[in-house]
Chains A and B, each alone.
Chain A
């Protein structure tokens, strides 16, 4: 899993969350209400994923309802370097823009990049994996060779170089990441497609004279969706982190306000040196929390898949 993203140890994060949850629940494990009993009954993984799901949906709502939630237009200028206070809950930056509004509007860009890149990676990866797992033989050799080549490309450095030469824009970054990050999805899908395409019903469908494409789409793909979904979620997490890293390095689109861009501005315009913590802490936390929520849900789905495999 960690191969998709060198900067993110998803397992470690999930472990930390599990442990935190566990110790908290031990302290007040004597709850008497129905809710407490329900919480006690559900497994740690399910609880963590519930938390993740709640976080995830609140971020989605934040991105969807930015214009309603944000107190100000993020481009309006107030007094610069204001401390968090009543007027500006998270303070203002060097240009006097409201950080909270920036943060809320920034969620749109960050989520679009994350989802866009992950969607593209998942579509390419699923298609490659499906074809090579279903047709096997030469097709498999060629496609898996291609996957190996893409796997060898140092991804972040390549994106940095390309982003430096091409005009930096957030959808360009999403496109680049999407076209590089499909490899692990392709491998997982391939191994599952190999298994599913040997099932009796695939043979039975061939015996009914259906085309390979039809069988792949209507019989093989629906039966491997459950492994694609967690991969998709984890790709979102890595894409978001990568977007933040690239933006932080100053290779993002300066005209758009993403979370990564906010940290970059805070860094390059003296926010770190002067100790204006509200400027960079909020976007940093948002990135961390969103990635964590996605990873929690993704891991829960993956664990469920593994446990059903064990049952079989």
Chain B
């Protein structure tokens, strides 16, 4: 799984630069993401982890311009030399599905209830590649077989006849059928039991390897992120607070939030983080985490920058947004 040292330091496939997303609501302006920077390298899996409501899904959806109209988006998302945020809906339609595919959470709601599974998987082939119906259905069935759903008439079933896990795989099949270069998996484990979630994630990364694609995995399942991904970005209250190689982040978390988050795991003592997540409408000035931080000091009232830190024993770059480093 690990690609330590082998990762080429060339241009990233997808670069998110200073992405800020805010929503105007009746309650006020919700800052869902602030100054998010991510690099997705070719062939790697990058996991974005964080608690519910920290802006992970917002980042994923803004990459494909799939956020509602009341949002204002700043920053740039560079993909093959173009800024995706500046593209029109029509140009975006060219990218969606063919270049970048997204697998949504809650698969049972993300499939059309009155269309058979095989038809939904074959649809992208018919629309984008203009393949005849019979051939595309055949390819859809092949895809399902690769995902372990070749038997039992799954292909001919409607989504309401299938279980959540099966639907999730149908979703994945529909997203992967055009061999996109990037797969964004938005909480693929949500609504599935632990074992199934892991299976789905492993299938995703297996497909990633076969298709030579990159995977952007959005999850709150820390162990899943560690096992599946090459690198992890930890988000807190709309900001990326730490990015680094997965195992290294797990073994030596630098940011106090990452440390606290890892301490929440049952394996590490099940210590909850004191306090509550800050409001996204009126976030604390300075470091977002300082009201709950164990190591806070005077300087934390100011906003820390993302600092690069070279870890001596791992030889991998880490980025941390904390005044301690």
Contact = CB atoms under 8 A, between A and B. Distances in A.
B204 to A, nearest CB: 16
Interface residues of A, number: 20
Contact of A201 (B64, B92, B102, B111): B111
A210 interface: yes
Contacts of A209: 92-98, 124, 127-128
Interface string B88-112: 0100111111100110101001111
Interface in B146-178: 171, 174-175
A204 B104 contact: yes
B102 A200 contact: no
Given A209-B124, A210-B127, A200 B96 contact: no
25 contacts: A136-B69, A200-B104, A200-B109, A200-B110, A201-B113, A204-B174, A205-B123, A206-B66, A207-B104, A207-B175, A208-B96, A208-B97, A208-B101, A208-B123, A208-B174, A209-B95, A209-B98, A209-B127, A210-B93, A210-B97, A210-B127, A211-B93, A214-B127, A223-B112, A223-B113
A236 B109 CA distance: 35
Given A207-B101, A207-B104, A209-B95, 12 more contacts: A200-B111, A203-B104, A205-B123, A207-B64, A208-B97, A209-B93, A210-B97, A211-B127, A222-B112, A222-B114, A223-B112, A223-B113
A108 B92 CA distance: 51
Contact of A204 (B69, B89, B111): B111
Interface string B32-43: 000000000000
Contacts of B124: 208-210
A221 to B, nearest CB: 11
Interface string B216-251: 000000000000000000000000000000000000
A-B CB proximity, top 9 nearest? A209-B96, A209-B97, A200-B109, A208-B97, A200-B110, A204-B110, A209-B93, A201-B112, A207-B102
Interface of A: 136-137, 199-201, 203-212, 214, 218-219, 222-223
B159 to A, nearest CB: 8
Interface string B306-324: 0000000000000000000
A201 B123 contact: no
A210 B97 CA distance: 8
A86 B64 CA distance: 77
A207 B109 contact: no
A200 B115 CA distance: 14
Contacts of A204: 102, 104, 110-111, 171, 174
